[in-house]
Amino acid sequence: MYRQIRHQAMNDRWNEFPPAKSSNLVPLYDGVGEVVALGDDVTRHKIGDRVAGLFFQEWENGPLTEQALGTALGGPLNGVLTEYRAFEEGGLISFPDHLSFHAAATLPCAAVTAWHALFCGSRRLTPGQHVLVLGTDGVSLFALLAGAHVTAISSSDEKISRLQEMGAHSTLNYRDTPK
User: What is the per-residue pLDDT across 8-29, written as a single tens digit (0 to 9) for each?
Assistant: 444 444 455 556 566 788 988 8
The predicted model scores a pTM of 0.65
Distance of alpha carbon 149 from its chain centroid, rounded? 21
Distance of alpha carbon 54 from its chain centroid, rounded? 9
The kind and range of the H/E element at 50 are strand 50-53
Res 38: pLDDT: 94
Alpha carbon distance 42, 135 (integer Å): 41
Alpha carbon distance 147, 172 (integer Å): 20
**Residue 1 CB-density burial (10 A; 0-12 exposed, 13-18 middle, 19+ buried):** exposed
